[in-house]
Structures are given as structure tokens and as C-alpha cells.
Amino acid sequence: MVINLTLLVMSPIQGYLVDRFGTRKVIVPSLGIFGTGLMLFYFLPGRLDAFYLGWAALVAASVGLLPGGYLRVAGAWFNKRLGMALGLVNSGIGWGNIFVPLVASTVITAYGWRMAYVVLGLIVLCVALPVCAVLLKERRSVGPESAEAKQTRKQTTARVFKETIRSRQFRTLVVAFFLLGLVNNALINQQVPMLIDAGMMPQKAAFVQSMFGVFLLLGRIGAGILLDRFSARWLMGIASIGAAIACLIYSTGVTGNLVYLSAGLIGLVVGAEFDVLGYVIKRYFGMAAFGKTYGSIFSMFQLGGAIGSTSFAVSHDIFGSYQIGLYVAAAVLVFVCIAFTQLSKYPGEGGGDAGRADAAPKTPGLQATSGAR
């Protein structure tokens, strides 16, 4: 929850910074701060409040590492295969979820948790930082940008963002992703306790969580590929209904093979959500204010995550089980489906003219600054 609330504040700030200064100038310093900060956790006092404060400070200081910056780069370079590009970029989070716990647990077993933070910090500084410093390139117009051009771009970004936040599409996406954060973060954080509460052995519950991670990775890559061929609105709607069905299955207290189906359905919607967000922002609003738009919606997602994770656990303590919380989660996901399917069509929906260089957002006033490539 501490990280969610920190991201709630910092996401719009990151959006402003990447739109104002460019993604590379924000990401590369943030990687240095993040890697160094992880290593400094070696000296963290053995107190819970210091741990919370340390993570809040580290997330705030390394604001450039939020997904919006990387997706902004991919969105500028790709158009016809935009979905695939976003899916592959987002899959990095899935691979990290698989390998980082393995590295951390190995080091913790051998040398303790303090040394694990040192090793993770070194990986950031010795792998991620050099890769981004050398290979991360933003798509820019040919030639240096004059002071007048910079001022014009700044004014255009501000104008486009004002038009964006007044649009029905933006408001719908804010509500939909707030609700997704409300449900998805709770399901991720409470999935293992929920299964153990239903009578499953802890080892099997951990294995189900591992399968969830596999489906999350498949959801990120698969959703990206499908976005180039089918409507993002309907893909997210179907994924949300699938996750609602998973909640209803979990509510029965089953511990058999159906739990793998439920974990898979939840993994798919969690994997798809940020692919879809990056994709529809470009299609509806263009690239001129991508960072601010993504940061604002991502901030609401984090607010939902902070509320949902806590509320789901509290509902268990009040009612003695997760059943009521799962019923509510299923209802919320149905509402998410309705919200997505009520969005208007975007240019190139279903792969029609998505590859055209002149494909422009349908939101009034944004056509001239679509940034489509």
C-alpha cells in the first residue's frame, strides 16, 4: 500500500517529466538512483517504519522507472505493430517477476536479506543502466530542435492534455482502471492466503501463484499481438468477464484443478491491462501528451490498488472468509467490462487502418497532434 500511494502521487509527475524533457533523460538517471538506493537498503535499520519510509523514498526518487516512460518510447516508434511492441515491452515486468524472486531467495538463503538488496542493486547498475544508456533511443524529428520549436511543443502538449481530460474516453478510462486496480491488486496480493484459507497446502498455493505468473506473462505478450488484430475495447471486456468468472470459482472454496483455471484467467486480465492502456491512449489521444495522460490514469489505478488490497483483507477479517469480497470483485469486473465496451471506436480498430501514417485520433481537437507513425 505504501508503494501504491507513492505511485499515486508520482505517476502524474513522471508523465509531466517525460513529456517535457524526453523519456531517456528521465529513465537513465532514475536507474542510477534506483540501483544505488537498493544497495543502500543494506544499512536499513531493523524497524518496519524505516522499511516503509525507505521504499516510499526510493520509489519517489526513481520516478522515471514507471511503465509509462518505456511505453511512450515504444508508442512513438511503432504504429502498425503497436500492440505487439507494447506487449513485448510490458513482458519485461513478467520476466522480472519470474527471475528476481529466484535470485533474491538464493542470495537470502546464502548471505541474508541485506546482501540480496546489494545484489539486486548491482544488477540494476550493471545490466539495466548500461542497456538503457546505450540502446534506449527516442524517435525525434530530424535535426536539432530550436527554442521556438521547444516552446511550441510545450504549448501543444498542454493544449492536447486539456482537451484529453475533458473527453468522455479519458473519464471512462480513469474509472475503468481505478476499478481494475481495486480488484486486480487485491487478487494478486491475497491469492495465496485465500487458497490456504480454503484448505490448500501452502506449497500447492505457491505453485498456483507461479502458474499465475506464467499466465500474466502470456497475457502481456498475447494481448499485445491481439491488439493489432482485434478491438482493444472488446478484448479487455472479455478478459474482465473471464476474471469475474475466476472470482466466482474462488468464492466456492474449491482447491482442485479449477484453481489453475481461475489463476490463469486473473493472470490474463492483469497481463493485458497495461498493454491496453498504452495502446488506447495513442489511438484516442495521440502522442503529444502521452506521458501526462498515462501518468494520470496510472495514478488512479494505484489509488484503486491501495484501497482494494486493504479492503479485501479487511473483508476477510469482518466476515470470516473471502467470499463476500470475491462476490464484490466479480461485480466490479463486470462493470469494467461494460465501461470498456461503451467506449467509442478508435481509428484503425480491429486492424483496419491502424498502420496508416495518417490515422488520427477521433477525439475532437486532437487530430492535428496525433503523433501517429
The set of cell numbers assigned to 102 is 529466484
The enclosing H or E element of 343 equals none
Q: Average pLDDT, whole number, for the chain?
A: 85
pLDDT at residue 373 tops 70: no
Which homologous superfamily does the CATH classification assign to the domain defined by 2-138? Answer: MFS general substrate transporter like domains (1.20.1250.20)
pLDDT confidence tier of residue 370, bands split at 50, 70 and 90:
very low
Q: Which of 301, 296, 292 is nearest to 369 (CA)?
A: 292
Cα(330)–Cα(314) distance, integer angstroms: 17
The reply to whether 2-138 and 156-344 are identical in fold is yes
Q: Which of 336, 342, 332 is nearest to 307 (CA)?
A: 332
How would you class 339 by CB atoms within 10 Å of its CB: exposed for 0-12, middle for 13-18, buried for 19 or more? buried
Question: Each residue of 208-227: pLDDT tens digit?
Answer: 887 888 888 888 888 888 98
pLDDT confidence tier of residue 148, bands split at 50, 70 and 90:
low
Question: Each residue of 279-294: pLDDT tens digit?
Answer: 999 999 988 888 889 9
User: What is the domain partition of the chain in residue ranges?
Assistant: 2-138, 156-344
Q: What is the CATH number of domain 156-344?
A: 1.20.1250.20
pTM listed for this prediction: 0.80
